[in-house]
Amino acid sequence: AGLSSSASLEVAVGTVLQQLYHLPLDGAQIALNGQEAENQFVGCNCGIMDQLISALGKKDHALLIDCRSLGTKAVSMPKGVAVVIINSNFKRTLVGSEYNTRREQCETGARFFQQPALRDVTIEEFNAVAHELDPIVAKRVRHILTENARTVEAASALEQGDLKRMGELMAESHASMRDDFEITVPQIDTLVEIVKAVIGDK
């Protein structure tokens, strides 16, 4: 329901100031400044993903991002592929939304495993003790673990030009966001079903 317009604006302003005043800032540092503005002044405890893709995105490429190291890898899109953006007309805001709640739930999950972040937990470790977690937190943790795995596999699928697998992964991702992370809205769910009816999981 959003296209990261706030992150784009933050990076645009940061880039203008960097060039105007010849500041010693690279794209990652500009992205971090944008994230800090969002965290400290807007009140949204967002991550760094949106700012990084705005700052370091490359034409005709997806960007695989390591949000801990800020390392990135440009992944070439297969030739002849078009990315279609569909406007759901659903208006949302991150501040006052469930964003901060989801973050707190994920941090609760990480503390349960005594890890700094859920990326340090394996799916096997989770499955072994999932029943001990609060059911809601368990759903959030499962989404993060499976989504991280899907993201890495999606980059590989794109590199190999395997659009069928990419479509399957995107369908799995939406189902996980809907059922485990519970962040979709009826308008988006309907659009996904319409697209699947027209082209399938392609």
Residues involved in catalysis: 50
Q: Determine contact, residues 66/152, Cβ cutoff 8 Å.
A: no
CA distance 181 to 167: 20
Instruction: Taking the CA atoms of 101, 49, 113 and 142 in sequence, report the sign of the dihedral they define.
Output: positive
CA distance 198 to 175: 18
- Residue-level length of the chain: 202
Cα distances from 38 to residues 34, 97, 113, in angstroms, run 6, 14, 28
CA distance 14 to 33: 8
